[in-house]
Structure 1
Amino acid sequence: MAPSIRPKYSRVPKEKFASYFAPLSSQPYIEPVPRNGLGPHHSPRSIAWNPLGSLVATGSDKTLRVWNPEKNNVRFSTELKGHSAPVEKVAFNPVKDAELCSVSSDGVAKLWDVRTKACVNEIKGLGSAHTLAWAPDGSSLLVGNRNGELFQISPTRSAIVSTHPQPVETNQMAFCWSGEKVFLPTGDGKIRILSYPELEPVLHVNHTVKPGESTEFMLKGHTAPCLTAELSPTGKYLATGGADSIIALFDTKDWICQRTITRLVGPVNSISFTFDGSYVVGGCAEGMGSQPLFFLSQVRNDADAPIGSRLEVTHTETGEHVHTFKIKGPCEAVAWAPTRYCLAYSDDGSLRIVGVDADRK
């Protein structure tokens, strides 16, 4: 059973952030080992909190697992099976605490009721699906595949609602909080701003272009494919991560890049803000050599050498480094809880969470 719901925490000022986390240790959430010692290792590719922050889901291989963050023993978790290929992305319905969606490279999106462990709906024919985003009102979803196709689907319909081929490869998208726009990272390093559900360009340049060229206005912040986008809870910043190891923070009023994060190593595959938008994180699935490394990096314009296997937390408004979490090794996903300063991340093949109350095991 999920823990009792607690009110949203108040903000922790940057001067006290380090002392807030100093006495807390991260808790491991370890998958059971098969009796014969064989079988796939469940290394989380994706992590998602439910809207109340009372459950956290992980997905990889062919299995999903939903954890009670207050109890890290696997017997308090829920296993969900049904995909025939690795689970690429998981996300809870933003307005329903127990409805979870997963997409897999098997071309299927599955909707789950985590209370009953039942798959309540599935949509097939999505190709090699690898991205997923819920509309803020929970009425529909966007799924993207590696061929650049976008699919609008409904949690209550088993057929695809609409298909939208894109002119360039697309990656992990993000909605604005009204649900009227979607931010779409592309393989050419740009970020498109499209209307929803029409998926048409919202903004256009106000200068003359060459005949045959598009007048669509796009954000430009990367010299390599843009892999992910995340809107801050306050709506003030859009963060984008690229294969160029950079995170860009765009002001959503004037669409100017205000800051860049340049101390990461490897493609930036995940980004997360704290519930109050005060702190930002970014995750890299690959690092120096062949081993993935993961960093939460300073929001500032510099070209310092990479900082190594640590999680660096940064204040978004000032660019000040506020705290360091040590990690063991490979990490592919990270997510701040939606209601408190509680960080879930994959580390060395397992889920770990820091910020859970010390007296809650």
Structure 2
Amino acid sequence: MSDIFAKVRLGGIELNNRLVMAPMTRSRAKLDGTPGDLAAQYYAQRASIGLIVTEGTQPSDDGQGYLTTPGIYTDAHVEGWKAIAQAVHAQGGRIFLQLMHAGRMSHPDNTPHHRQGVAPSAIAPGAPMFTAAGMQDIPTPRALTTEEVRQTVKDFAYAARRAIEAGADGVEIHGANGYLVQQFIAASSNVRTDEYGGSIENRARFAIEVAKAISDEIGPERTAIRLSPSLLMWGIDEGAEGPDLYRHLVAELDKLGLAYIHIMHAGNEELLSDIRKLWHQALVLNRPGRSREQIGTDIASGLADIEAYGQMVLANPDFAERLDSGAPMNEADRSTFFGGTEKGYVDYPTMSELKAAKETE
């Protein structure tokens, strides 16, 4: 496991270890999308991990899907994220801000303009969503016009620029988990007849254009993307041609020289191996459900350069230190994942805090 604690170059920065905090929605932002008052403390507590990837952050009003998620397109948003970036950097950490446009995974009650969600095509995901009024079915989205698709690409680039203004080390495009970028990729959610629909090349076009626009805006060394090939959720089904689409997409993205690609692995080992061969920059791998005993195995085998972890980092601010020392881990409290107060957010104890508490007993 020693390789996981080795330093690694990622784009224009150096990480102290090969561990990444995976992006996790916490739904604790203010109603205007400004990060909540405890967010700086939350992220700074976890700054000893090699890289923090923040919760999904909307690039526009249309990009919001869930209640109280943060944005990065107004001056207030920038000031809020600036405090977070400064707090993380003060602890020696690195932070990439994840740009997430929810697309059709949205409800009008959750957005600042209360408008119908937007997507590649007017196809509902067939899933409910939490709102202030409780769980509600997600309504059918409105299909973006071709010009609106191009404007959305510009929205991503603008949000990336604002993230850098806020002090982030870079941005990660959320191209996974059934949100807008993957909605363009999947034939089940994209039945367009313009240049963004139909063929493999056309359905990959939006992801490539977003990555290029952001790369042109802030530099490829500050730009990354997360993908989840073959993931079936919320009506997303990439079909039999899905692996070939990702081979094309990854090969095209590789030409941009991005900082890293972040794969949320859904089980297709052959495709993962092909992606490793096609990609010539850093590869971050997230295997949901990976046990503690398996940590570091993908780095040791050469399949990944860096490994990403979610709930274990959420529950253990000193995750890297616990891993290195063999100390037991705190268990995550699922009931506090979304919304709420400091409970389950900034009150998970570190080893040193537990030791101090025991000494005062």
What TM-score do the two structures reach when normalised by structure 2?
0.31
Ranked by relative contact order (alpha carbons within 8 Å, sequence separation 6 or more), the top structure is: 2
Which structure has more helix as a fraction of its residues?
Answer: 2
What TM-score do the two structures reach when normalised by structure 1?
0.31
